[in-house]
A and B are shown apart, each in its own frame.
Chain A
Amino acid sequence: MDFGSHLIQQLINGISLGSVYALIALGYTMVYGIIKLINFAHGDIYMVGAYVGFFAITVAHMGIFPALIVSMVVTGLLGMVVERLAYKPLRHAPRISVLITAIGVSFFLEYGSMYFVSPTPRTFPRVFETEGLTIAGFTVNGQQLLIFAITLVLMVLLTYIVQYTKIGKAMRAVSFDTETAQLMGIDANRVISVTFGIGSALAAAGGVLVGVYYNSIDPLMGIMPGLKAFVAAVLGGIGIIPGAMAGGLILGIIEALVSGFISSTFRDAAAFAILILVLLFKPSGLFGKNTQEKV
């Protein structure tokens, strides 16, 4: 394989990995945008999503698409329950208390899952028969196509919800100025709950897709992708939805290029080097701008 085709192959791999990062990063960024919390339990929500999908397929014998929807719904509800029980009572507490609680929720989900589903990795069934595409000598396998398609659909859907629906406008209003949003008659608590639900459902989709792609899931699988998605959200500009989408894709591509051309040993290092560089040179992220107020 010459350099050019190797590059394109790595780009294809990078975009599929990056799509999953983007799906997780969206939840991070939406939650941050609305209550200024880095929800460190978000990676574990993604793990739970993978397991719900796994059991929907193996126990309930569902196909991949029904399993995906079931996983998104169940995990979305879990996200809302976590918010209600763990974060809502701390709405007026200092931010550090909420952050520490998020870390606690993360451990709870990780070790709670170990207790219930055992720490042994499970093999995700091959539910999506891979009739890959070969275009001009490049292979895009079936799972990658599935990831592209599902991610694209979910992003279009999310953009539609946030831009054009009533709840989406309420989300933007609460995120911009919670108090004034309440003066419009918006129930901020409900909007925050819905935001957790949507973010968790997106992460669940990422979890199921990763299960299909890598065939293996375990209760600690959420730690690394969770951190990577956090990097992706910061890279795009935390709190900015298109930023999370772009940040996830860019991070995935960089990781694929680093593993393809240098060594896969360095791919995690590359991701965290990006975090350091962003924080040093453009802390507001690629899509972030300095806001100013008119007086």
Chain B
Amino acid sequence: MAAMLDIKDINVYYGAIHAIKGISLTVNEGEIVTLIGANGAGKSTTLRTVSGLLTPKEGEIKFLGETISGLPAQDIVRAGISQVPEGRRIFANMTVMENLELGAYIRTDKEGIEKDYQMVFERFPRLAERKEQQAGTLSGGEQQMLAMGRALMSRPKLLLLDEPSMGLAPLLIREIFNIIVDINKAGTTVLLVEQNANMALSIANRAYVLETGRITLSGDAKELAASEDVRKAYLGG
């Protein structure tokens, strides 16, 4: 079976900086795949390239058999990929409800959208209590939940998560990661970028380790978590 997401040997530049140097990776339907690595390794750049905010100079990205590299971001959402950006990037000057409405921007099926609001509120009860509140007044954890709920509103086939644990307390991180597993069980494929390698490897099926724009290791998440090299470099011994 062909992979859902197939990244083939992409090179991405920020101006003169060669940020991604020939990365290839695949995500199969139903999986949680994680991309781990240090700050500046190119994890976020990879996600931003998949979601169309950046265009690879060389190489190709295929999603469900169609080439998506080179398409503008708004068309990639329509293809079925939704991103929770790094730093959450919620619309702080709008209400929680308006943020979710924007998440459903590409959809026109009123009933389905209503149903999905309920789905999001069931998954994140705290958002339901704060529907009419300005999103900027939410706590960091609630903002992360809103960013995830907003991304789910487009009914993505593939969910890209960029550092969902950033800036959150350990208990909250556990909660967020449990929700990621639930979302995956409900049928959404997940590509997760994390600096918190321990947490990421604990929920992922497969993992790729990124170092200065290149993939240095890849394989089964459990095996990588047990490997000596990974433990030393990313898991604190």
Contacts and interface: CB of A to CB of B under 8 A. Distances in A.
Contact of A169 (B101, B140, B143): B101
Contact of A173 (B82, B102, B106): B102
Interface string B74-113: 1001100011010001011110001001110110000000
Interface stretch (A37-45, A117-125, A177-185): A177-185
Nearest to A180: B89
Nearest to B83: A183
A184 B78 CA distance: 9
B72 interface: yes
**How big is the A interface, by class?**
20 to 34
Interface string B133-150: 000101010010000001
Nearest to B52: A182
Nearest to B104: A184
Contacts of A166: 105
A179 B103 CA distance: 14
Interface in A154-203: 166, 169-170, 172-173, 176-177, 179-188
Interface of B: 51-53, 72-74, 77-78, 82-83, 85, 89, 91-94, 98, 101-103, 105-106, 136, 138, 140, 143, 150, 154, 167
Contacts of B98: 169
B103 A172 contact: no
Contact of A180 (B91, B93, B154, B167): B91
Contact of A172 (B93, B106, B136, B150): B93
B91 A294 contact: no
Contacts of A280: none
Given A184-B150, A184-B154, 20 more contacts: A166-B105, A169-B94, A169-B101, A172-B91, A173-B94, A176-B93, A179-B73, A179-B85, A180-B91, A181-B102, A182-B52, A182-B53, A182-B72, A182-B74, A183-B83, A184-B105, A184-B106, A185-B77, A185-B106, A294-B136
Contacts of B52: 182
A185 B156 CA distance: 12
A98 B143 CA distance: 35
Interface residues of A, dominant DSSP? helix
A85 interface: no
B74 A187 contact: yes
Nearest to A188: B74
22 contacts: A169-B94, A170-B105, A172-B91, A172-B93, A176-B91, A177-B89, A182-B52, A182-B72, A182-B74, A183-B53, A183-B77, A183-B85, A184-B74, A184-B102, A184-B103, A184-B106, A185-B154, A187-B72, A187-B74, A294-B92, A294-B140, A294-B143
A293 B93 CA distance: 11
A186 B93 contact: no
A295 interface: yes
Nearest to B108: A166
B77 A184 contact: yes
A179 B85 CA distance: 10
Contact of B73 (A176, A183, A291): A183
Interface string A250-273: 000000000000000000000000
Interface in A69-113: none
A294 B74 CA distance: 26
Contacts of B103: 184
A172 B77 contact: no
A184 B105 CA distance: 6
**Across chains A and B, which 7 residue pairs bring their CB atoms closest together, nearest first?**
A185-B106, A185-B77, A182-B73, A180-B89, A184-B105, A185-B74, A184-B102
A192 B173 CA distance: 38
Contacts of A294: 92, 136, 138, 140, 143
Contacts of A170: 102, 105
Contacts of B77: 183-185
Nearest to A190: B74
A170 B52 CA distance: 19
